[in-house]
């Protein structure tokens, strides 16, 4: 999929590990959305990496989290 360049202009994308300050910014966005949209504060928090989009004014505008498969990591949830 290709996006119009003006949508991405001025955005920075970061791939970061759990515990990184930018990773935490992305998780804060998730907490806010879960609270505002679904009225909950409970969500999966076993993520290893984050892809965080930050606008040129410093606003976190997107977040995708990733679990890295390890022998002890279960990737499907009941």
Per-residue pLDDT of 7-49, as tens digits, reads: 677 889 999 999 999 999 999 999 999 899 989 878 777 889 9
Which residues fall within 8 angstroms of residue 65, CB to CB, at 6 or more apart?
A: 26, 27, 30, 47, 49, 50, 51
In a domain, 75, yes or no: no
Q: Check residue 1 and give its pLDDT.
A: 47
DSSP-assigned letter for residue 68: P
In a domain, 21, yes or no: yes
Q: Is the pLDDT of residue 64 over 70?
A: yes
In a domain, 32, yes or no: yes
How many independent structural domains does the chain possess? 1
In a domain, 48, yes or no: yes
CA-wise closest residue to 50 among 60, 63, 61, 62: 63
pLDDT bucket at 4, cuts 50 / 70 / 90: low
Q: CB of 18 within 8 A of CB of 47?
A: yes
In a domain, 18, yes or no: yes
Q: Is the pTM of this model over 0.95?
A: no
In a domain, 20, yes or no: yes
More confident residue, 34 or 6: 34
In a domain, 29, yes or no: yes
Range of the domain at 35: 7-66
Strands 60-66 and 12-17: unpaired
């Amino acid at each position: 999929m290709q996006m119009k360049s003006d949508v991405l202009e001025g955005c920075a994308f970061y791939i970061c590990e759990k515990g990184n300050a930018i990773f935490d910014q992305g998780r804060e966005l998730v907490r806010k959305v879960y609270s505002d949209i679904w009225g909950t504060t409970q969500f999966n928090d076993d993520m290893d990496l984050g892809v965080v989009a930050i606008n040129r004014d410093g606003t976190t505008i997107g977040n995708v989290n990733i679990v890295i498969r390890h022998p002890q990591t279960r990737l499907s949830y009941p």
